[in-house]
Chains A and B, each alone.
Chain A
Amino acid sequence: MAEQFVTGLAKLMTTLVGITKAVESQVVTIVEKNAVRVKNHAKTDHTGKMAHAIGRYENQTTNLTNSIQSTNATNSGGVISAEVRTNKEYAAKVEFGTSRTAAYPFMRPASAAIEPRFLADLRGLKIGE
C-alpha cells in the first residue's frame, strides 16, 4: 500500500494566516481611502442636475455639505467597512426629494462615482509580498 505524507503544512498555514492579515490591513487602508473620496465627492460642487451643490437653494447655508463626514475603517471579523454620513435630519429629503421639492442626490452619485476606483484599488492589492 502506498502512503503519502504532507510536510510543511504548519508552515503553509502560518504563511496563509500571515497573508490574510497583510491583505486585511491593505483592504482597511483602501476602504478608508475611498470613504474619504466618497465624502469629498459628496461635498463637491457639480454642474447640471447631478448632485447637490454649494450655492443651490437647498444648500445655501452649506450646513449639509459641512456635515458630511467619513469614519475610519473598521474590521469586524473580516467584514471591513467605513461609513460616509451626515447627521442632518433633512439629508434624506434632499437625497430623495419630497412631494414638493425635487430630489438632489448627493450620497448615491458620490458612491457610484468612486466605485470604479475602489474596485481598481482592490484589484491592485499586493498579495504575498
Chain B
Amino acid sequence: MATLRETIHGILLTDAQSAVAGSLGVLLGYNAVNKPRCVYFRNPPEKPDFPLVTYFSSSQVNILGGVEFNPRTIIFTFTAWGNNFEAVLERIFNLLQKKKELTPSDYSCKAILFDVSGPDMFDDDFKIYYRAENYRVVAVKI
C-alpha cells in the first residue's frame, strides 16, 4: 500500500514522464536522457534545469499548535518554477481534482481539496518566476 506522499508523488511523476500534449512532461520539458527528473521533493537541486516542480507536505496545526489525528489534514504545497508556472499549476490542479475520490488503497485518504494560491514571486538566485499552491488532503492514516 502506497503512503500518501508516495501516492501524490506517483501522480506527479507519471504525468511528468508523459509525452501527451498538455501533460507535465511536455510542460516541464521531460527528456529521458537530458532531463529525466522534473519533480523534486522540497527544494530544487543544486543546478536546476527549469522549468520544474517542487513539493512538500506539512501537517495542519490546530488552535493550540498541536496536530490532530484521525482524521488528519495534510497540507501539500506545490511550487512551479519557470515562466509557464500558471500552465503547470493548472495541470497539477486537473491531475489532483481527478484523484478527489481516492481508492481505499491510497492509505485511507478521503479527499484532495485545493486550498490557496500564493502570489507570483521572483527568485533572486535563479532570476526566475515561481508560484506555490496549497492543497488540503484529509487522511485517516498517512
Residue numbers of A with Cβ under 8 A of B are: 37, 41, 44-51, 92-93, 95-100, 102-103, 105, 108-109, 112-114, 116-117
A113 and B121: CB pair below 8 A?
no
Across the interface, name the chain A residue whose C-beta is closest to B118. Answer: A96
Question: B44 and A96: CB pair below 8 A?
Answer: no
Give which listed residue, A46, A51, A97, contacts B132 with CB less than 8 A.
A97
Can you name 13 A-B pairs with beta carbons within 8 Å? A50-B58, A50-B61, A50-B67, A96-B132, A99-B43, A99-B126, A99-B128, A99-B130, A103-B77, A108-B115, A109-B58, A112-B115, A114-B63
B83 to chain A, nearest CB (A): 15
Q: Which residues of chain A are within 8 angstroms of B43 by Cβ–Cβ distance?
A: 97, 99-100, 102
Q: Which residue of B lies closest to A109 (CB)?
A: B61
Q: Which of A41, A49, A95, A97 has the most CB of B within 10 A?
A: A97
B48 CB to nearest A CB, Å: 7
* Contact among A45, A92, A98, A116 with B125 in the assembled complex (CB-CB below 8 Å): A98
A50 to B57, CA, bound (A): 10
* CA of A114 to CA of B42, assembled, Å: 27
Q: How far is the CA of A112 from the CA of B123 in the complex (A)?
A: 27
B44 contacts A99, C-beta separation under 8 Å: yes
A-B contact count (CB 8 A): 75
B116/A103 in contact, CB under 8 A = no
Residue of A whose beta carbon sits closest to that of B64: A113
B118 pairs with A46, CB closer than 8 A: no
Chain B, interface SS category: strand
**Residue in B44, B58, B115, B126 whose beta carbon sits within 8 Å of that of A49 in the complex:** B58
User: With a CB–CB cut-off of 8 A, which chain A residues contact B123?
Assistant: 98-99
With contacts A50-B65, A99-B81 taken as known, whether A92 is within 8 angstroms of B58 at the C-beta atoms is no
Contact status B58-A105, CB under 8 Å = yes
Residues on A with C-beta less than 8 A from B132 are 96-97, 103
Q: Kindly state the separation between the CA atoms of A10 and B77 in the bound complex, as whole angstroms.
A: 53
Alpha-carbon distance between A113 and B124 when the two chains are bound, in angstroms: 32
Interface string of B73-117 (1 = CB under 8 A from A): 101010101000000000000000000000000000000000110
**B58 near A97: Cβ-Cβ < 8 Å:** no
Closest chain-B Cβ to A90's Cβ sits at a distance in Å of 10
In the complex, A95→B118 CA distance in Å? 9
Q: Contacts of A44 on B, CB cut-off 8 Å?
A: 65
